[in-house]
């Protein structure tokens, strides 16, 4: 039950659950893309479909994040994918 927040080059760790963290964040600005990851929508440069209903999100800093199958609908809605 640890959450790591990455803010630019800095990292902050809290002893909390990801569900708690999700409740603290603005739902219009953040999306849970995997059971262990939440991203800021504005930080995403591109979204590319992968197999099995997953997506590869590339952030503006070049970091790549894979979405989970269970979050497919959330990702599609957050990024306007038809």
Average pLDDT over residues 36-63: 96
DSSP 3-35: EEEEETTEEEEESS-HHHHHHHS-TTTEEEEET
Is the separation of the CB atoms in 66 and 34 below 8 Å? yes
What are the pLDDT digits (tens) for 63-82?
Answer: 999 999 999 999 999 999 98
Q: In the prediction, which pLDDT does 8 show? A: 85
What are the pLDDT digits (tens) for 11-41?
Answer: 999 999 999 999 999 999 999 999 999 999 9
pTM summary value: 0.89
């Amino acid at each position: 039950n640890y959450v790591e927040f990455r803010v630019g080059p800095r990292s902050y760790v809290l002893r909390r659950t990801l569900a708690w963290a999700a409740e603290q964040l603005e739902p219009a600005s953040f999306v849970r893309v995997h059971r262990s990851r939440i991203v800021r929508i504005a930080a995403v440069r591109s979204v590319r479909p992968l197999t099995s209903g997953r997506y590869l999100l590339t952030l503006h800093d070049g970091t790549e994040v894979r979405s989970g199958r269970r979050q497919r609908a959330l990702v599609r809605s957050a990024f306007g994918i038809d």
